[in-house]
Chain A
Amino acid sequence: MSLSKEQKAALYRNLVRADQYNRMMYRRMMQGKLIGFYHPAEGAIAPGVAACTFLNQDDNLSPHHRGHGIIHMMSKGIDIKYYLAEHTGKDTGCCQGRSAFHFSFPEHKVYMMSGFIGYNFAPAVGWGLAAKRRGQGQVVMNCSGDGSYGQGRAHEAMLMAQNWKLPIIFFCENNGMSIFSTAGEMHPTPDIASMALAYDMPSVICDGQDVFDVAEAVLPAIERARRGEGPTFVEAKTLRFNEHDIGTPDLAGWEERGEQEHQEMRKREPVALATERVLAEGVFTQEQIDGLNEEAEKEIAAVEEFADNSDIARPPESELLADVFAP
């Protein structure tokens, strides 16, 4: 399929925002202004933007953990200020400051995050069942990395999704790395998408550095799911520019990733690639692009201001204990 000018514009705008959000998170972590850890997404922002920009509010989304879901959630239209407040332990946080880096936006059908990689596969089956039963064309965007496909849960979810023709997109953001280990060592085939063959599930592989290529792959999968034709496996081959999370060494296996590798990777920086294309195709002028960047800067400054000006959440123990169960 080919993308319309409007679609390209929407993707590019979100890519610029995603890039700046990720840089802001990196900076704040280094400044000691984030709780917990941050798994930087530089180099790997295009897949999340492409997968989520055209989702509806009532579609389910489980974001990839890289970038802590910000790229995916802001692309879906979620106001990130409540998540940044959460990530800074503030009482205005999306989980009342209780959850460190977890998120929950049930009104946008982003229910949860768990520290267990691959946790999303199992509940995705339930979201898919509910969507199918409702019959309103809702889809489940189930994002995760190459590493999470080591989980038996991935197999279980694909098995049931295909048995029951559930509207789930198995969206694999394959950056070839899980912490230090490489996908080459941990997975027996070069493409994670080859797993889909076992379930007779359609699959497609796309260039995860190219936001437009990913969108061209993912949009037909979304449409197919909306039509009730079942799940699709979409694999976006992407790159992780930084270390796994801030503070861990930048290793492949147990050896430092070399300068050469970094130079090669950075030739495929997703914003630069997309900028070249939108200028060439006349989607945006340089002036408009500058304007998008300024807009994103303003947006992020407001998000940071909201988080920084909120109070630290420190409710008494008795109040917390009273809130363990629903009334």
Chain B
Amino acid sequence: MRTITLIDAIKEAYQEELRRDDSVFLVGQDLRGAIFPHTKGLVEEFGTERILDTPIAESGMYGAAFGAAQEGMRPVVDFMFGGFSYVTFSECSVTTGQYYFLHGSQQSLPIVITAGVGTGQRLANDHAMSIHGTFAHHPGIKVAMPSTPYDAKGMFKAAIRDDNPVVIPWHMGIMMLKGEIPDEDYVVPLGVADVKREGDDVTVLANSMQLQHALKVAEKLEGEISVEVIDPRSFVPFDIDTVLQSLEKTNRLVVVDEDWESGGFAATVSARIMEQGFDLLDAPVTRVTLPNMPVPGGYMEEYVAPNPEKIEAAIRAVCA
């Protein structure tokens, strides 16, 4: 086992998959010079054709990946910041999600979409918004987001090897988070949730940086409230069974998600738990999400976005 950061874990996934499979390539803007550290030095080993920088032209850039995937290659498209994917949203949501199904399930589209997302950098809406909920709304696209270095490496590898389009952003707030990873090759399968901490009184479903917040809160409340913390890891497909199993024990659910309250992943989870797990609940499902406002930058972000205080308050309310 070695201890590395989450961003280096993604880099290792890239390096190993680029070496393993000649059809894998990265396309984005300023990847060679490494606007984020996970692409630093890759061009020296893999060359400019496989670490491909494009002009500032998101549709053409995404199209390069999309067309190459139809030609049997396995592109990873890096939008730098998640919100930038919306510049070419018709391509990467509608056209991508429908391609396999609508055209008679003849040809899969192995394409990975990634970018940095999330609050914590005081960058404001267009650089900070989450994208997982919006992409999860479009059928035909798998959506996942890691919360630890171990998961990051394993999930990025799984995404690159998947025959379907996979949107897998990473959270800028935990890019330097350290964790242990094994030396040997491994993947973390998409669509499998993970119980990150066991507990008896309440289940907290949280992802990415908010998962780390939830773990801190759970630790703080130890001896007072026993908190089970689950990371969905994937939003599509969503492993609801792991959550339902947990609810059989805890009968209480708090969903933490850095997407907006309205129409986000937390809303979907709440509805599905009501439909499939109503009899397990002793209290209403409670959500901790971004309020329905554009993400403010500056110093407002830290009290508007989900944070440990809000998570703790929700846990106490649902257990009261």
Contacts and interface: CB of A to CB of B under 8 A. Distances in A.
Do A and B pair up? The answer is yes
Interface of B: 49, 54-55, 57, 59-73, 75, 88, 90-91, 94-95, 99-109, 139-140, 142, 163-164
Nearest to B108: A326
Given A128-B67, A156-B59, A160-B64, A119 B91 contact: yes
Nearest to A103: B103
Given A102-B102, A156-B59, A126 B69 contact: yes
A160 B61 CA distance: 9
Nearest to A94: B104
A95 to B, nearest CB: 4
A160 to B, nearest CB: 5
A256 interface: no
Contact of B105 (A93, A153, A326): A326
A240 to B, nearest CB: 26
B59 A122 contact: yes
A128 B67 CA distance: 8
A129 B164 contact: no
A160 B55 contact: yes
Interface of A: 93-96, 98-99, 102-104, 106, 111-112, 114, 116, 119, 121-131, 133, 152-153, 155-157, 159-160, 163, 320, 323-327
21 contacts: A93-B104, A99-B103, A102-B102, A111-B70, A116-B94, A121-B59, A122-B59, A122-B60, A126-B64, A126-B67, A126-B70, A129-B68, A152-B59, A156-B57, A156-B61, A159-B55, A160-B64, A163-B55, A323-B105, A324-B140, A327-B163
B102 A122 contact: no
Nearest to B102: A99
A100 B105 CA distance: 15
B191 to A, nearest CB: 10
B216 to A, nearest CB: 35
A59 B61 CA distance: 21
Contacts, number: 127
Contact of A325 (B71, B88, B140): B140
Given A130-B68, A160-B64, A324-B140, A122 B105 contact: no
B164 A325 contact: yes
Contacts of A93: 104
Contacts of B49: 133
Given A104-B104, A325-B100, A116 B72 contact: no
Contacts of A129: 64, 67-68
Nearest to A155: B57
A122 B107 contact: no
A125 B101 contact: no
A123 B60 CA distance: 7
A155 B60 CA distance: 9
Contacts of A127: 67-68, 70-71
Contact of B106 (A104, A121, A156, A159): A104
Contacts of A163: 55
A324 B103 contact: no
A116 B90 contact: yes
A156 B60 contact: yes
Contacts of B71: 126-127, 130-131
A159 B57 CA distance: 9
Contact of A324 (B62, B67, B139): B139
Nearest to B100: A326
A159 B100 CA distance: 28
